[in-house]
Amino acid sequence: MVSTEVQQIRQLATLTVTVITDNYYDALRPDTALGKRYRSVPGACIHAEHGLSYFVQTTTDRGETGRLLFDFGVSADGVMNNMYLLGIDFDRIGAFGLSHGHFDHWNAFIEMLKRNRTLIPQGTPFYVGRDAFAHRYARRPDGDVQDLGFLNREEIENLGILEIMEITGPTEVIPGAYLTGRIERATTYEQAPATFLIERKGRQEQDLFEGEQAIAFVVRGKGLVVLSGCAHTGIINTVKRARKMTGVDRIYAIIGGFHLVNAVPEMIEATVADIKAMAPQYVVPMHCTGFEAMTRFRDEMPEQFLLNTVGTTYTFAA
């Protein structure tokens, strides 16, 4: 087990986050001040899916650099196609990390490892939180329970490539990139839905996502950047956790899945209001945020809202 309390945050001179896969692609949308979009060319088609994967690059004030693949999407063919088009090679990756154990974040992973095992240095760390390898299920509106599968730890270990690092607290995974550790539920309205289940000792019980991870960065002179997978623990709770662990209140950007898809309007409105009160310079909801919530962010925060498209690289510089 690895648990590292943050003593002194390494601030970043530059941070880039490339969205390898997400739910939406549009070849005609213009770039933004923060993000450079991938442009389709004849014979090269980027892949969008209900999944999420990021390539993160950091450079600290002292010139230390790091590269992280965070979450891995659903389709190995699709994700690897996108990595090829975006110029992301496996031998450039210094660490791997997983936000949580739902298949739309890990399904492509083992196949990607198998196809690229000769490129990945032996002992490369793979950071996970509690329950990353647990079997998960979802209860549907008609009462049926869908099997969501599980990431097979034994299969990863048998490949002999990665060193699995299970974290419990804030942990620096590459220079200036900090996994949050356990995210406390501080708000009254961001509670775990009863629809998600986890298997423990052969029994299904409500999944509280106690091991879910996000990543916090501090860009010198700009503030805190929070990168979320799905935010099943709540995006407000996630940002509060990032603020607490870094000691930085100023929010530069909040990026990722906010898990407001199919949420009741009251929860969407409360979340939008709370993020608006945090006054981030940018808000980039994606993946599981849901159309209704995205449009509310666009309406309430038109200057801060950015619509993500697959293949976009966001650059944060001091």
DSSP for 216-277, written as a single string:
EEEETTTEEEEEES--TT-HHHHHHHHHHHHT---EEEEEEE---TT--HHHHHHHHHHHHH
Which of these, 127, 106, 112, lies nearest to 77 by C-alpha position?
112
Q: Is the pLDDT confidence value at 143 over 90?
A: no
Mean pLDDT across 120-133: 97
Question: Which value, to the nearest 10 degrees, does the dihedral of the CA atoms of residues 200, 98, 73, 125 take?
Answer: -120
- What average pLDDT score do residues 294-305 get? 98
| Residue listed under structure tokens 């442009």 | 39
Sign of torsion, CA 294 295 301 307? positive
- Among 192, 195, 94, smallest CA distance to 136 is for 195
Enumerate the domain spans of the chain.
12-317
CATH class of domain segment(s) 12-317: alpha beta
**Average pLDDT score over the chain:** 96
pLDDT value for 104: 98
Q: pLDDT-derived band of residue 1, with 50, 70 and 90 as boundaries?
A: very low
Which whole number is the average pLDDT over 195-220?
96
For residues 161 and 155, is the Cβ–Cβ distance under 8 A? no
Q: Which of 182, 86, 171, 89 is nearest to 126 (CA)?
A: 171
Mean pLDDT of 40-45: 89
pLDDT at 2: 45
* 4 has pLDDT over 60: no
Query: What are the tens digits of pLDDT across the range 7-24?
Result: 789 999 999 999 999 999
Q: Is 99 helix (H, G, I), strand (E, B) or coil?
A: coil
Host H or E run for residue 289? none
